[in-house]
Amino acid sequence: MRNQAQLLPLCSKLCVRERVAMHTVLRAPFNTFRHIDLVDLHVVGGPKLRSFTVASAAALFRAAARTVTSWVQWLGQMNSAAREHSPVAWTQQGYIYPKCWDSPALAQNLQEAFGGFLNNSKYSVAGKLIKDKLAEKNHWVPPAHGDAFFAEFRGLQRFAYDNIMATVFPARSDTSIIYLCKTRLTQMFAPFDLFAESDDEIEKAFETLKPMGQHVVVKVLKTWLHGWATSKRMSEDPVLPCLFGCVGQLDSQRHYVMCPHIFALLRYLIGDIPDDPCIRLAIKVPSQHALKINGF
């Protein structure tokens, strides 16, 4: 894929597949995390996952700017061949390649990338940002493909990757994983309002969680984000009853956080644990001891 990404844009469906793959790596049910949460896990102490779709777009831009710079000559040759040999109706639609091709020419892919991904709704804003920043670095003169500016620019692909990531996955308060945890926990413990008095507890919980290691962070976040693979969570048919034997209760995480059988089991295995499920889950009065129990 590394070599392909330098010449071919990836299929748009790969964004969904990338998200599925990241969930698979983390052993979490699909849609436990949003896409932005997956690429920002390292901010809260989790593993740093790299987006291969964004990395592929960055590689394509770098190839167009510095590695494969003869694409302009290729386009000239293809335009001449199209005018001479292709049907007029086909060329009038802007196609310079034969109808039998299943994708645009490599030269067109490189042209699209260097032009700022103008026809790609996901990357067009990032493309304009990259072009503007490069012009600023070149004394406000947009550098041409193959220019000496690009030959001397160290970390060009990383530069493109970081700018695309910052645009596609912007850092906002409503996109943070802390905000999502608060939302999911509120739903899990409804009708009780966990954060009626203060929102500081969840902030403290994340501060306590961050230095505890990537594996603990991921396990705890799956709990806080309602990410247990229960039959209720996975929309199975039929939804199973509580696996610990509670009468009239479903196989769902909303029940398990208050399940008396799980509480009794934890008290037997661990000893003195608080009665309040919010403290057991380290949402209130967070401690490393409680977080380790959640990450067990």
pLDDT tens digits, 167-220: 999 887 767 898 899 889 988 888 887 777 766 788 889 999 999 999 999 999
Residues 160 and 179 in one domain: no
Residues 156 and 186 in one domain: no
Residues 242 and 133 in one domain: no
Residues 28 and 164 in one domain: yes
Q: Kindly state the DSSP code that residue 275 receives in the 8-state scheme.
A: S
Examine the pLDDT at 3 and tell me if it is beyond 70. no
Q: Count of domains in the chain?
A: 2
Residues 193 and 138 in one domain: no
Look up the pTM and report it: 0.85
Residues 22 and 148 in one domain: yes
Domain that holds residue 257: 175-294
Residues 239 and 193 in one domain: yes
Q: What share of the chain is helix, strand, coil (3-state, %, to 5)?
A: 55, 0, 45
Residue 296: band (very low, low, confident or very high) from pLDDT cuts 50, 70, 90: low
Examine the pLDDT at 113 and tell me if it is beyond 70. yes
Among 154, 150, 273, 284, which Cα is nearest to 208's?
Answer: 284
pLDDT tens digits, 55-104: 999 999 999 999 998 999 998 898 888 888 888 888 888 788 888 887 78
Please tell me the distance from the alpha carbon of residue 45 to that of residue 161, in angstroms, as a whole number. Answer: 21
Last residue of a domain, one of 117, 148, 168: 168
Residues 38 and 154 in one domain: yes
Please tell me the distance from the alpha carbon of residue 51 to that of residue 38, in angstroms, as a whole number. Answer: 9
* Token code pair at residue 169: 């996955």
Residues 138 and 56 in one domain: yes
Last residue of a domain, one of 105, 140, 168: 168
Residues 42 and 92 in one domain: yes
Residue 271: band (very low, low, confident or very high) from pLDDT cuts 50, 70, 90: confident
Output the pLDDT for position 94.
79
Average pLDDT over residues 134-144: 94
Residues 242 and 259 in one domain: yes
Residues 94 and 152 in one domain: yes
Last residue of a domain, one of 136, 152, 168: 168
One-letter amino acid for residue 224 of the chain = W
